[in-house]
Amino acid sequence: MNILLLEDDLILSAELCKFLESNHFTCDKIYDGETFLRQIKNNSYDLYLLDINVPKINGLDVCQTIRSFDKNTPIIIISAYGDLSDKKDAFTRLADDYLVKPFQFEELLLRVNSLLRRKMPADTSDQEIIRIDDLIINKTEQKVFRAGNEITLTLKEFQLLAYLAEAQGRTVSKQQITEHVWEHNFNTNTNTVEVYINFLRKKIDKDFKVKLIHTRSGFGYYLSPL
């Protein structure tokens, strides 16, 4: 799980990231709101930690900006401001939680884990919901989300993505794809598979640092965060 921290106190920022990393998270730290918003444009995170009083763009405005394009990624405000009016302002901007400094790191960890559990699909036992890194594929509703944002796919794009995901990281050949996705209803000498793989890459991978769709030269394609 990847966490992005907005905190201009260099000592607290370093200590927080060290604590989170010791609890099996990855943590990137940013010291001003402007850089923070640039960072999330090309990188995906599972949760945001935002201090309010930071340079350039304050944490509440950062929260509001995030919510203008991402309704789902959990946001926790960490701030020395403890008045009810401050908390009300944060929740009005759709923050998920608010923690007043100074706080115990263990309490923050409890809140982080609680929010991330809510974000996870409730039941993946029947594979109707498949999660790979920050990609969620809902087969029942034929919906796809990455980093909390819904991605619109055509029917064939969705079927191809679902088939790759169901392979659980194994490489599938072009022939296997044509059998399962197109059922041999097109000329296998065409480059249709390559074209649709490119369609998916533009929609699934283009705007993200971590690429999920990979080619194994001479063998086929696979879906994996590695």
Tokens of 213: 């769709």
Please state the rounded mean pLDDT for residues 62-84: 91
Bridge partners, 151 (sequence order): 144
Q: What is the pLDDT of residue 72?
A: 84
Distance of CA 105 to the CA centre of its chain: 23
**How do residues 116-174 score in pLDDT, each as one tens digit?**
877 654 444 445 888 888 899 988 888 899 888 889 999 889 999 999 998 888 888 88
- DSSP of 95-114: -SEEEESS--HHHHHHHHHH
84-92 and 59-67 are packed helices; what angle lies between their axes, rounded to 10 degrees? 30
- Which conformational region is residue 127 in: left (phi greater than 0), alpha (psi within -120 to 50 degrees), or beta? left
Read off the pLDDT band of 185 (50, 70, 90).
low
Torsion of CA 201, 206, 208, 210, to 10 degrees: 50
